[in-house]
Amino acid sequence: MNMRTADKIIKAAESLDWNVTYESGEFDFQKYSPAGQDFNMSITGNTLDELKENLYEWYRSYDCSEEAYLWLDKSGHGTNGAPYDMKDLYDDMQACEDMVKELAEQIQEIRIPEKQSNSPSKKNRDYTR
């Protein structure tokens, strides 16, 4: 991916308050959730279309219940700085999912001129569940 395209992706993400680093086809996205979780994800993409596809798949496979479970102790309360109440923790995981959806939709809107593209254009994704 050329740096002009990577810069468009970074600017789009930063407009939604994500922190982004990019190196050799890998984007690291970081943002704090409403409850203060340091939420991170790494998405690879050597082309814009590949990044869009991989981000879409990451979003589609995100499981709020599974993510919340990772932060619960044996009694069902949040650990390691997570919200104490199970419902609050789950709500925060849903907020993370919404953050990823918003990012994926924003990046889906990026267009580059044909001569810069290295792959055929893919159709827009439907982010409804």
Give yes or no for a contact between 51 and 43, defined as CB atoms under 8 angstroms apart. Answer: yes
Helix-strand-coil percent breakdown of the chain, rounded to 5?
45, 15, 40
The 10s digit of each residue's pLDDT in 2-39 is 999 999 999 999 999 999 999 999 999 999 999 999 99
91 belongs to a structural domain: yes
The per-residue pLDDT for 84 is 86
Give yes or no for a contact between 39 and 25, defined as CB atoms under 8 angstroms apart. Answer: no
Give yes or no for a contact between 83 and 35, defined as CB atoms under 8 angstroms apart. Answer: yes
pTM of the predicted model as reported, rounded to 2 decimal places: 0.83
Predicted confidence pLDDT, tens digits, the chain (129 residues): 899 999 999 999 999 999 999 999 999 999 999 999 999 999 999 999 999 999 999 999 999 999 999 989 988 888 888 888 899 999 999 999 999 999 999 999 999 875 554 555 555 666 665
108 belongs to a structural domain: yes
100 belongs to a structural domain: yes
Give yes or no for a contact between 108 and 125, defined as CB atoms under 8 angstroms apart. Answer: yes
Q: What's the DSSP call for residue 116?
A: G
The per-residue pLDDT for 129 is 59
39 belongs to a structural domain: yes
Domain count, the chain: 1
The per-residue pLDDT for 113 is 74
Count of residues making up the chain: 129
Give yes or no for a contact between 48 and 120, defined as CB atoms under 8 angstroms apart. Answer: no
75 belongs to a structural domain: yes
What residues make up the domain containing 108?
3-113
